[in-house]
């Protein structure tokens, strides 16, 4: 089994520190909420061509400002460090290989192998019907299952599966990227991992108490839909306030909470792909990734996500209440999607059932990675560099993520000075993380 083979000796490889003096940063591939991904190439001492890398860079100033906003000085740094440590563990052909880490006074970041095939979302939109055939979906679905199987075997819940985060490598196989929203649960088999269900005391509460809690949860959910504050974030902020109170004024501790349950109660993910248990704040585990897989398969089949609403609030409402429209003849693929999009995580299909499902009938799981010609092979492109037109990464990142005050004071000539690529817009999205 490939999972067993690639899990061996996580720490054998030393990860080098990156030096801007030894990197040729060619262009910005896009931007995300907290960072910029650049296309860079290592500079060889012998003058030969180096390796192409995707360099993710995050502004320290942005991290510190965001940390002050959420009243958690270390949380943002912890998330960045956690992502790098997760990448450091990976030894799998469908997952990123950490090629180096970056740490300066202005920025932090890391580098992974560059995928010149872009992402599944871009690839799907290039299709005539903006969707894939069942056979193509089967290939990508099988590789996604294998990637998630490995990630889960490390005790990690991905929590951000979407086509934008599924890159296509030079050999046509996928690479799952962007692990800044992932978290670690007890390192057990995903199938046997305990769900975060209410305690017996909660189940035996009086109807009036339950009614009050339901009303409170609806209020939190409504506030989140309109302001971006999740029920879990609100509860955690309350808990933080309690910790800061004098000893004699603390509220009774909730015995059901722990460090691990706090992580698994946080609201994370991209709204159209998040599972119902994340939206409702009931607590979640590995099953949320299988829900997201169902959404991704649906999108590959129909060209749209199943629960998209006109706004965030409507999307969440549909996730909680709507049955996915699986129009068309009954097929193994539609049945698999239906079972993945089961709103009750205790009834949702899991790893072994997925791999043995009729949709994958005849799939040689040990042979998937050996397929020589996947559905799409990226065109071989030769990237050109101009030593006189390389990017100053720190200035570029600082300029994009400067404070609102700095943005107001910024001159209109920044674009002419080379801070922003000519084809760059604020709405650009990353295809790399």
For the question of residue 160 being annotated catalytic, the response is yes
Assign 64 to helix, strand or coil: helix
Phi and psi torsions of 329, nearest 5°:
-65, 155
**CA gap 51, 139 in Å, rounded:** 28
**CA gap 221, 206 in Å, rounded:** 22
Residue written as tokens 């049955």? 323
What is the phi-psi region of residue 362: left when phi exceeds 0, alpha when psi lies from -120 to 50, beta otherwise?
left
Active-site residue (options: 19, 119, 160, 233): 160
**CA gap 248, 136 in Å, rounded:** 62
Radius of gyration for the chain, computed over Cα atoms and rounded to the nearest angstrom: 23
Q: Which of 367, 349, 370 is nearest to 358 (CA)?
A: 349
What are the Cα distances from residue 314, in Å, to 225, 268, 280?
9, 17, 14
**CA gap 312, 270 in Å, rounded:** 10
Strand pairing partners for 37? Answer: 30, 56
Q: Which of 380, 378, 7, 3 is nearest to 173 (CA)?
A: 378
Check residue 77 and report its DSSP letter. H
**Cβ atoms within 10 Å, residue 23:** 21
Q: Which of 95, 79, 99, 80 is nearest to 7 (CA)?
A: 95
3-state helix vs strand vs coil in the chain, percent to 5: 40, 10, 45
**CA gap 7, 89 in Å, rounded:** 8
Element (H or E) spanning 45, and its range?
none
Assign 175 to helix, strand or coil: strand
Assign 152 to helix, strand or coil: helix
**CA gap 35, 111 in Å, rounded:** 13
- Which residue numbers are catalytic? 160
């Amino acid at each position: 089994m490939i999972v067993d083979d690639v899990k061996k000796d996580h720490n054998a490889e030393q990860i080098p520190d990156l030096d801007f003096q030894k990197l040729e940063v060619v262009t910005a591939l896009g931007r995300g909420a907290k960072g910029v991904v650049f296309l860079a190439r290592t500079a060889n001492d012998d003058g030969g061509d180096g390796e192409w890398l995707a360099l993710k860079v995050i502004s320290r100033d942005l991290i510190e400002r965001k940390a002050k906003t959420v009243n958690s000085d270390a949380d943002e740094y912890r998330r960045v460090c956690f992502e790098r440590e997760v990448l450091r563990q990976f030894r799998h052909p469908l997952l990123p290989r950490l090629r180096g880490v970056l740490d300066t006074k202005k920025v932090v970041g890391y580098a992974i192998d560059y995928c010149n095939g872009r992402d599944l979302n871009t690839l799907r939109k290039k299709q005539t019907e903006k969707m894939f055939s069942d056979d193509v979906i089967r290939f990508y679905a099988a590789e996604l299952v294998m990637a998630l199987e490995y990630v889960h075997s490390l005790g990690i819940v991905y929590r951000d599966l979407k086509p934008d985060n599924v890159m296509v490598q030079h050999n046509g196989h996928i690479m799952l990227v962007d692990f800044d929203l992932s978290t670690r649960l007890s390192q057990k088999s995903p199938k046997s991992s305990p769900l975060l269900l209410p305690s017996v005391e909660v189940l035996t509460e009086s109807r009036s108490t339950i009614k009050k809690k339901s009303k409170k949860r609806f209020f939190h959910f409504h506030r989140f839909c309109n302001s971006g504050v999740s029920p879990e974030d609100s509860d955690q902020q309350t808990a933080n306030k309690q910790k800061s109170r004098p000893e004699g004024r603390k509220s009774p501790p909730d015995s059901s909470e722990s460090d691990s349950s706090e992580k698994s109660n946080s609201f994370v993910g991209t709204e159209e792909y998040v599972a119902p248990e994340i939206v409702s704040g009931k607590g979640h585990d590995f099953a949320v990734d299988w829900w997201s897989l169902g959404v991704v398969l649906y999108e590959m089949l129909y060209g749209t996500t199943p629960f998209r609403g006109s706004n965030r609030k409507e999307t969440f409402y549909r996730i909680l209440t709507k049955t996915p429209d699986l129009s068309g003849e009954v097929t193994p693929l539609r049945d698999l999607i239906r079972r993945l999009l089961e709103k009750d995580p205790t009834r949702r299909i899991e790893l072994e059932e997925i791999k043995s499902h009729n949709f994958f009938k005849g799939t040689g799981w040990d042979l998937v990675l050996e397929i020589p010609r996947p559905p799409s092979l990226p065109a071989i492109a030769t990237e050109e560099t101009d030593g006189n037109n390389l990017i100053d990464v720190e200035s570029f990142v600082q300029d994009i993520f400067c404070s609102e005050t700095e943005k107001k004071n910024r001159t209109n000539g920044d674009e002419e000075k080379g801070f922003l690529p000519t084809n760059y817009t604020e709405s650009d999205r990353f295809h790399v993380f």
